[in-house]
Structure 1
Amino acid sequence: MADALILGGGLAGAAAAVLLSRAGKTVHLIERETGPHHKICGEFLSIEARHHLVELGIDPARLGAVPIDRVRVIAGDAQIEAKLPFTALGLSRHVLDEALLDRAQGAGARVERGVRVLGMDAMAVRTSHGERSGTSILLATGKLPVREERKDSGHKDADPYVGFKMHYRLSGPARAQLEATVQLTLFDGGYAGLQMVEGGFANLCLIVRRSRLTRIGRSWSDLQAMLSSLPRGGEWLAEAEPLFARPVTIGNLSYGEVLRRRPDDGIFRLGDQAGMTASLTGDGMALALRSAFLAVACLRSGEDAQTYRQRHRAEIGRQLTRAMALQRALEQPLLRSLGVGLLRAWPGLLTYLASATRVTERPAEHALERAL
């Protein structure tokens, strides 16, 4: 039996595997995919995420990450731009997740791929390849749900989001327009983020309420037509070349903190399994990595999952609260209109909002030495 059984090889799971292996723990990581793959993600690395990756021994620049230092918000015929309070990076999960898994294996973790988690409790995990167990179980399956025994069903969003992602090869003018910029397009019932990633490609991540999607028409072509019809923000699609046969899609997304609804069952829940922040803030990858550092700090100190949940809530709860308040406000037409008016008058508010929705600096007592 491994000291730690990690379910999921995304950012949080792979980061935890690296850190625990460096600390001398035996680690068994299970990943459902057999090789590199794309995930629903804005692929925006904030300054906090960059700091965590450096501690993990990952240099995003060497992986081809693209610098981003401006933000552009488009709503109706309004377009507002401002400087980011830091230099972010655009890097696909296809590349970054594999780099972290390679780092985990290099640190000594056992990585088992092509294994699906079918169900779990606090003691064991049922998989497509039989039962797996560990002294500690870390759940890091991202946005994918896992069937759990005695799980508190909690609140379910009556109108959840549906997520779409596509990579494009842009025309020269469109690419120049997007240089060093993350572009956020707001529309009724959702929003779309667009930015460059490695290889000279653009990543479009689109989040839309299920009810709004039904009115649009449900198909990907209908969604693209809707974006193209907006006064601004969709004109680049006319000459863009899609790079996937079909978009990456996921349904039933419910954002916000979920830890308060989880049973005290001894499982360490990481990343989106702990709390899914509003994607428009661009801090989701930082939060996933932070949860891994927090969980490993607790495990190394002999602390339980309940202590981890309390620390996670203390460090990340404020970011989740602010991010969700911003998202809910933008969903209200009147508040969105007022907000856009304020941004037009004071573009510097965008810079402030980018700072206000960041995860806080990691307290020194939770920091792990890079020498591990």
Structure 2
Amino acid sequence: MTDIAIVGGGLAGLVSALGLAKAGLRVVLVEKKVYPFHRVCGEYVSNEVLPYLRALGADPALLQPAAINRFMLTSPKGKALFAPLDLGGFGISRYALDHYLYQVAQQQEVQFILQQTVQDVRFTGDAFTLQLSGGETLAAKVVLGAFGKRANLDRQLNRPFFQARSPYLGIKYHLRYDAPRDLIALHNFKEGYAGISAIEDDRYCFCYLTTRRNLKAHRSIAAMEQAVLCRNPHLRRIFEEADFLYDQPEVINEISFAPKTCIENHMLLCGDAAGMITPLCGNGMAMAIHSGKIATDQVLRYFREGLPRPQLEENYRRAWQQQFAGRLQVGRAVQQLFGSPILSEVAVGALQWLPPLVRLVMRQTHGQPF
């Protein structure tokens, strides 16, 4: 029996695995793909994560990320506002960052089971049994669920958000483009918004969220981009001038921002499995890393202090809610101001004259260095 089984090898899963293994626990992580691989993600990370990553021996500076310290927001008609990013952040592809964390975790003797999924998780006798897609079983004292935005385990756990279809889909490209490398820009369009920011190797991540209705109305991604996104002049310039580096974009369906729980069947859930902030707020990667730290801290207390399992779960729930519940709520509220062309124009126009409000929203959706 291993001490910790982690389901999913994204940022939350990798950071948890690294922290727990570094503390001397036996950790097994199950990931359905093989590193490195791309994910649909905005690929901007708030600098709040840097002290913790450095403490884990995983300083992202080795990957030469782009340093980002300015923010731009545009309305569907192209009206723009600018603001400084007080804490700042960095741009790095998930392809590079996840692979790097995987390599560092291997050095800490994390055991990886790749190209398999967890089909079922049973909790009996104060321990877990995981059924893997390859036919094997895995026994663990603690299970962390870091399986992302939407997974088959969500269906098996009968989680409420999984029962209702989400209207959103996400689309991502990497590209080369002539734009400031210290700027993250969010461009609104009808029923969606797009983000563009620099990453490593003189490239940019261009990722947008829209609705299935938008796609269905135009029958293809390319047609939708020309008919809808390009009405924003800033987006039109990207499509006309950028060198797109993918033959086809990365796409993910059924993105849900509905409230979720951070405990299911005695598993501690972290990252997007526990709750997803709207991409408009641009801080999902930092939240995933922070949730991995919170899970690590509480699991270490559980083993070191001999806590009963109900106390572990309550401590984790309380810490998670304290750190993230407010951010997610603000993110959902902010999203309501965008997507509608009329509301977006009004919101950007008003925020142009209220710089303190822009910075307040940023502070409410970002954390402090940890």
Instruction: Give the Cα separation in 2 of the matches to 1:293 and 1:355.
Output: 20
Instruction: Give the Cα separation in 1 of the matches to 2:57 and 2:251.
Output: 31
Structure 1 partner of 2:338: 330
Structure 2 partner of 1:147: 153
- The one-letter amino acid of 1:285's match is M
Quickly say closer, same or farther: Cα 1:257–1:149, change in 2 above 3 A: closer
Structure 1 partner of 2:36: 36
Structure 1 partner of 2:62: 62
Structure 2 partner of 1:169: 176
TM-score, normalization by structure 2: 0.89
Structure 2 partner of 1:137: 143
- The Cα shift of 1:350 comes to 3.0
Does structure 2 retain, via aligned residues, the 8 Å contact 1:184–1:280?
yes
Structure 1 partner of 2:220: 219
The aligned runs of 1:267-306 (5 Å cut-off) are: 267-302=267-302, 303-306=311-314
The aligned runs of 1:1-372 (5 Å cut-off) are: 1-75=1-75, 76-122=77-123, 123-130=128-135, 131-147=137-153, 151-155=157-161, 156-170=163-177, 175=178, 177-215=179-217, 217-225=218-226, 226-259=228-261, 263=264, 265-302=265-302, 303-360=311-368
Quickly say closer, same or farther: Cα 1:193–1:19, change in 2 above 3 A: same
Shifted more, 219-228 versus 291-300: the winner is 219-228
- The one-letter amino acid of 1:221's match is A
Shifted more, 223-232 versus 336-345: the winner is 223-232
* C-alpha RMSD of the superposition: 2.0
**Identity, % of aligned positions:** 29
- The one-letter amino acid of 1:116's match is T
Instruction: Give the Cα separation in 2 of the matches to 1:196 and 1:313.
Output: 32
- The Cα shift of 1:144 comes to 3.6
Structure 2 unmatched runs, 5+: 303-310
Instruction: Give the Cα separation in 1 of the matches to 2:156 and 2:102.
Output: 31
- The Cα shift of 1:218 comes to 4.2
Does structure 2 retain, via aligned residues, the 8 Å contact 1:182–1:195?
yes
Shifted more, 183-192 versus 125-134: the winner is 125-134
Instruction: Give the Cα separation in 2 of the matches to 1:85 and 1:342.
Output: 21
Instruction: Give the Cα separation in 1 of the matches to 2:35 and 2:296.
Output: 26
* Structure 1 residue matching 2:254: 3-state secondary structure: strand
Structure 1 partner of 2:308: none
* Structure 1 residue matching 2:37: 3-state secondary structure: coil
* Structure 2 residue matching 1:121: 3-state secondary structure: strand
Instruction: Give the Cα separation in 2 of the matches to 1:61 and 1:71.
Output: 21
Does structure 2 retain, via aligned residues, the 8 Å contact 1:195–1:204?
yes
- The one-letter amino acid of 1:106's match is Q
Between Structure 1 and Structure 2, how many residues are aligned? Answer: 354
- The one-letter amino acid of 1:141's match is F
Q: What are the superposed Cα offsets for residues 84-118 of structure 1, whole Å, 9 maximum, x if unpaired?
A: 11221000000000111111111121112111223
Instruction: Give the Cα separation in 1 of the matches to 2:70 and 2:7.
Output: 36
TM-score, normalization by structure 1: 0.89
